[in-house]
Chains A and B, each alone.
Chain A
Amino acid sequence: MAVWDVSVTVEDLGPDAPPLTLSVTSDLHIGGVILKLVEKTQLKHDWSDHALWWEQKQQWLLRTAWTLEKCGIHADARLLFMRQHKPLKLGLPNGTTLRLHACFSSPVFRTVRGICSILNIRHPEELSLLRPMEEKKKKKDKDLVEEVYDLTDVPLTSGSRPCLYNGMPAHFADSPKTEAVYKMLSVSQPPPAPEAVVKLYRPASVVDKAHINSRWLDSSRSLMQQGVQENDRLWLRFKYSAYYDIEPKYDVVRLTQLYEQARWAILLEDIDCTEEEMMLFGALQYHINKVSQSEPQTMSSMAAMDDLDSALQSLEVKMEGDGSSATEMLDNMCAPELNDYLKIFRPKRMTLKGYKQYWFKFQDTSISYFKSKEESIGEPIQQINLKGCEVAPDVNVAGQKFLIRLLIPAPEGMNEVYLRCENEQQYAQWMAGCRLASKGKSLADSRFQSEIQSIRSFLAMQKTNSGSHGNAPATDDSINTHSLVSPRYHKKYKVKQLTPRILEAYQNVAQLSLMEALQRFLQIWQSLPDFGVSFFVVRFKGSRKDEVLGIAPNRLIRIDLGVGDVVKTWRYNNMRQWNVNWDIRQVAIEFDGNVNIAFSCVTADCKIVHEFIGGYIFLSTRSRDKSDTLNEELFYKLTGGHEAL
């Protein structure tokens, strides 16, 4: 058989080294070529990760048993011998950048799986990679070096679930550096500066949102094949909005990153919500930030905490560690009450009279008031039970106005009562009491103190924001509330107006634990009407204008591009089949009852649309098959298109 030469560039010899020339025959298999090559380089090296890349054809030669002839390689082929795993800069949902080794030779689907197993994110099928937005780096902020977390030292793990060590996967516990990475992954980031949010790109229309979807990588081809180079930047995002089996115990990183993605979707107005919802999102962000900063240790140990028992035990220890002896505690718990002079005003009844001072007593869930302290033994002038009432703050720290507005239900309707406090301290206590009582909790509730604390920190926030930087020691607490809401509300409300609104919403979430708060945030996000819809601009067959196709976890939505109205929805469970004509790049779908639709894609490649639909069908098969292993083959079958078949 004829011997001919093939030239191979070896990456490890340096960029300027000339290609090596090997004499080969057509029946030599790829493995043999590699063997010859390695001998020729005379480098002692671990070559196990290396493979041949065929430049002209843009493909990997991974089947080492195939002969050159079978691969179709001739003397003109330019081959490249290089590592399959290369460093990649990964933009995470939380906005940070992480450098790690990713596989450049396997399909993106499997590469994402590898990345997720390093990051300890379960259900990697829900995520994928996309190309970042072109950043307009015209301004001279080059000196601003972006912080990059590095995980390239972490050895590549096999697919199995990593064992936990110290509350984190073992490979993170190696060094302080990797521990810091894990903390970044598993603890939500502090709220961004409002100015930074304003600068970021926000999709202004459904078409903008559609364009974002054109940047997803093809899951069935490798990074290399899609032109991604070593050290390039890609984003890792949750792509499919069907989050399966979220389990706080195992999903700390997954939940945190999902929360971050949701939070940014809200802040950047990627998904629309009402003002009330925005305030609640703001309150939850505030709460999550506060809780995760105040108790990062307990959080990581929470993850390790296996059963309720140990949780209870630690709680008990905490209770005992409070210093006061148990009996004292008991005494305290029996009859906690507040007593003080406050001013009361009833806007309805005595409109002409102003605030009147009485001696107030807060006991259990009721407030009673007396003429004076001395008369407080007798019958109160009135007793008000606060259970089920609405509590609203009316505070102006600069103006020393501390008002508690109560709306108390009665058979005849709601009674309005205002309580005026003298100072911050008094206000925080009584307000905390009112809040608890409105939910049927007495002052004995363990949350009383933390409630007081959170009210005070909100007051502190107002103080710093109103300019008087006097005595606000807690700098962590003084968040600019603008950073909790989308830029639309920066214009609409001043910080002074916004803070009380968020505080109001905060009442309902202040008791949540970190994990509960994260989950609540995600739940509210997921119940937004537009949640989970990925938009594409398409041209339906027989139609002359562009329209929008929305792909949701359970249905396709045809949307009028101009008005934004839903024209029609088709559910997947009525879908018989769908086909892609790769020549004319048209997607055709058949539904029950002989409903046929076909469209071509305008803003994205039809492969992406195809993959979205197939991906959701794939995800919906998960619930039936509870096994932990992913049916990768099925995924490619459903999403791969003609190349995979």
Chain B
Amino acid sequence: MDDIDAMFSDLLGEMDLLTQSLGVETVPPASPSSSSKEVNFSIGFTDQNESLNDLEDNDLDALMADLVADLNATEEKMAAEREGRKEPSPPPSGLPPPPQGLSTYPAPPLASPAASESGGSSKVSTPASSIASLSPPPPPQHSKPSMEEIEAQMKADKIKLALEKLKEAKVKKLVVKVLMNDGSAKTLMVDERQTVRDVLDNMFEKTHCDCNVDWSLCETNPELQLERAFEDHENLVEPLSAWTRDSENKVLFQENADKYEVFKNPQNFYLWKKDKTTLKDIKDRDKELLVQENFCGTSIIVPDLEGALYLKEDGKKSWKQRLFQLRASGIYYVPKGKTKSSRDLVCFVQFDNVNVYYGKDFKSKYKAPTDFCFVLKHPQIQKESQYIKYLCCDDARAMTLWVTGIRIAKYGVALHENYKTALKKATVTSAWTNRSTPSTSNPSTPSPTIRAKASNQANGHAAKPQPGPDSPVPPPPPPPTEILPPPPPDPVLPPPPPPLAAKTYNSQPQQLFACSIPLPPPIDDTSEAPPDFLPPPPPVAGFGALPPPPPPMTSLPPPPPHFGGFDQSLPPPPPDPDFLPPPPPPQMFTGPGAPPPPAPPPPPPPAGVPRAGGRPMPSVRKIPPAPPKRTLPPQNAAGGGGDFMSELMKAMNKKRDQ
């Protein structure tokens, strides 16, 4: 353990010397290859060692696994490329050879479902090229199609592959420190492709909070005294990349009641002109109807806000009142002496290039008439500028109305989708907490979880997203579920890309489902339990209602009966756990875009797989952190610090051997 920490300090120290950065330090070395200009750095730390110390064991492991995976992936990629360049046509040998020297250990046997699953996930990642270049015709049949066809096909596949790699090569990662309400902080690694939703799920896992829909990630800008909650569909890395190097901005993890208030109490936004008692007494049915009307139609309806706001004049300290109107296309104001008719309105701002922020304490900072201010600015602007638009409302209600209205206009239906996802997540999680608390003694040890992730990543080292729909493989492989494969004996050495695995994987998706679905209950116990497989805990009352493996065709969980036709859009947290949609099936069938519900349990590790390090099997996967494709590590960081990497690997090995 010490070794590795030392290694890391060394590594980081060296990097620091190189970059001479101020408080923002480079963690993974920048790759010298295609994306040499991209520097990965961490967010939220003021000091190098702090960031190091902050990384918990598990984080460190994850990071290591990531780095190693990157390295492997790059090597393999290069190997594959070399191979591909040299002999583009012969179909049988079109498979890139297993990366030299890496395939010491055989792939886990395919016998047990878990193993086949892991075979699957490792396969997905193993040179996607192997699938791409080989299929559709399996090797034995290669004589049938004409050479030219094959060649043409292969060329096309290579283009795809190459484009995919180009994309992969640029993946950027940040180590982000997220501040909690209690002043503590969590550190996580965030990949460019991860959405805020993914990161939130990650945080849920780390914090074991109640996972309600209000949890959000916020960015604060102390210099401008601004705050904004990220929307769940945003990618986190992008806005963070806009921060300056000496930025004091922070990422907070907190409950934010405004986040989805418009879906909980739509009347306050869409009927804001009505008096308060009417709004309070509104029936649930009418609320539903409002959401339906405004978010589920062919177009999103923006609340028809209109009112006097104070506008801070460019570069001056004075605030001037104007009559503003919110429309789907932007904020407008009524020019002096004109009517409110649409044709006379003057456009104040459109939302394409700006985000909306809450202003904090503007009364003293800018002499605003009230403290209920909001700001519109380009996300990249971090310092005072004439391009920032400051607006001030009379009261808190008006401010919430406007900020929410602007978000609706800007994000549209994505907001509603986010809410539905968050709601599903919250519902599922509460179900899990409900039923797992009695049976899980130790669900909160983060370490196995992260370990699991690490090994998963190591296993799926070639971080290619699935070939996707454009892959010639006839049945698009189902998204690899978050079932944890038994970690490979040594993350350094990925299993060879077995062509067999590819085939099996593709031909057996149904089986995999069948195997994994009915198992959810037992998992929790296996976390700390020996492999000898405890019987499932007595299910909590409602759980018996879970269907057996769902028929492959149905894509939706059986809707709770009382929601009628609208179940998809508005499942409020059911009052009792009996009506919970069964967690696993949605995951199985909703695809990578869906929220990751609890993973099905990995069965106990096959006995044949050796496990070094004596750690308990990482099998608790209460909440998988992210849809599978996103957990795949990017590759750019690899290759760069070849020396570092080999050193690191050695250290890792050492550690494992202890």
Contacts and interface: CB of A to CB of B under 8 A. Distances in A.
Q: Is B a genuine binding partner of A?
A: yes
Interface of A: 242-243, 246, 272-277, 280, 308-309, 312, 316, 319-320, 325-327, 329-330, 333-334, 388, 390, 409-414, 488, 508, 519, 522-524, 526-530, 554, 564, 571, 573-574, 623-624, 626
Given A330-B162, A413-B381, A488 B343 contact: yes
25 contacts: A272-B341, A274-B332, A274-B343, A276-B330, A320-B152, A320-B156, A326-B159, A330-B159, A330-B162, A388-B379, A388-B380, A410-B380, A411-B242, A411-B382, A412-B385, A413-B387, A413-B388, A414-B381, A523-B300, A524-B299, A524-B328, A526-B301, A527-B301, A529-B342, A530-B342
A564 B341 contact: yes
Contacts of A390: 353
B329 A412 contact: no
Contacts of B298: 243, 246, 519, 522-523, 526
Nearest to A316: B156
Contact of A527 (B292, B328, B380, B470): B328
B300 A527 contact: yes
B326 to A, nearest CB: 10
Interface of B: 152, 155-156, 158-159, 162-163, 166, 242, 244, 285-286, 289, 292-293, 297-302, 304, 327-330, 332, 341-343, 345, 347, 350, 352-353, 378-388, 469-470, 564-565
A330 B381 contact: no
Contact of B378 (A330, A388, A519, A522): A388
Contacts of A243: 298
A567 to B, nearest CB: 11
B380 A409 contact: yes
A277 B343 CA distance: 10
B403 to A, nearest CB: 19
Given A280-B329, A526-B299, A527-B300, 13 more contacts: A273-B342, A276-B347, A312-B470, A316-B156, A327-B155, A330-B158, A330-B162, A388-B380, A413-B385, A527-B299, A573-B285, A573-B289, A624-B564
Contacts of A275: 343, 347
A155 B249 CA distance: 71
Which 10 A-B residue pairs are closest in the complex by CB-CB distance? A413-B385, A409-B380, A411-B382, A326-B155, A523-B299, A527-B328, A272-B342, A526-B299, A409-B378, A414-B387
B469 A312 contact: yes
A438 to B, nearest CB: 9
A123 to B, nearest CB: 12
A626 B565 contact: yes
A308 B383 CA distance: 46
Contacts of B564: 624
A2 B38 CA distance: 104
Contacts of A508: 352
A326 B329 contact: no
A333 to B, nearest CB: 7
B299 A274 contact: no
Given A280-B329, A527-B328, A329 B159 contact: yes
A402 B468 CA distance: 42
A508 B564 CA distance: 39
A571 B381 CA distance: 43
Contacts of A272: 341-343
Nearest to A574: B286
A17 B61 CA distance: 100
A360 B345 CA distance: 41
Contacts of A308: 469
Contacts of B158: 326, 330
Contact of A274 (B152, B347, B353): B347
Contact of A623 (B152, B388, B565): B565
Contacts of B292: 623
A478 B425 CA distance: 53
B559 to A, nearest CB: 14
A411 B243 CA distance: 8
A522 B565 CA distance: 26
A606 B248 CA distance: 66
Contacts of B387: 413-414
Nearest to A246: B298
Contact of B342 (A274, A319, A409, A523): A274
Contact of B386 (A277, A320, A413): A413
Contacts of B329: 274, 276-277, 280, 524, 527
B251 to A, nearest CB: 17
A409 B439 CA distance: 53
B155 to A, nearest CB: 4
Contacts of A522: 298-299
A333 B156 contact: no
Contacts of A526: 297-299, 301
B346 to A, nearest CB: 8
Contact of A554 (B293, B302, B383): B293
Contacts of A316: 156, 470
Contacts of A412: 381-383, 385
A276 B285 CA distance: 37
Contacts of A411: 242, 244, 380-383
A571 B292 CA distance: 14
A238 to B, nearest CB: 12
A413 B383 contact: yes
Nearest to A409: B380
A223 B384 CA distance: 68
Contacts of B289: 573
Contacts of B155: 325-327
Nearest to B328: A527
Contacts of A309: 469
B163 A333 contact: yes
Contacts of B293: 554
B132 to A, nearest CB: 13
Contacts of A325: 155
Nearest to A242: B297
A526 B302 CA distance: 11
Contacts of A554: 293
A573 B267 CA distance: 13
A333 B152 CA distance: 18
B299 A388 contact: no
A526 B300 CA distance: 8
A54 B328 CA distance: 54
B645 to A, nearest CB: 26
Contacts of A246: 298
A317 to B, nearest CB: 10
A327 B327 CA distance: 49
A449 to B, nearest CB: 17
Contacts of A326: 152, 155-156, 158-159
Contacts of B383: 411-413
Contacts of A329: 159
Contacts of B379: 388, 409
Nearest to B292: A623
A243 B298 CA distance: 7
A277 to B, nearest CB: 5
A274 B380 contact: no
A622 B524 CA distance: 45
B381 A334 contact: no
A280 B347 CA distance: 13
Contacts of B385: 412-414
A598 B387 CA distance: 52
A327 B293 CA distance: 51
B223 to A, nearest CB: 10
Given A413-B385, A413-B387, A388 B347 contact: no
A243 B166 CA distance: 43
A206 B532 CA distance: 79
A169 B352 CA distance: 40
A562 B430 CA distance: 56
A319 B160 CA distance: 12
Contacts of B341: 272, 564
Nearest to A529: B304
A272 B332 CA distance: 14
A333 B167 CA distance: 12
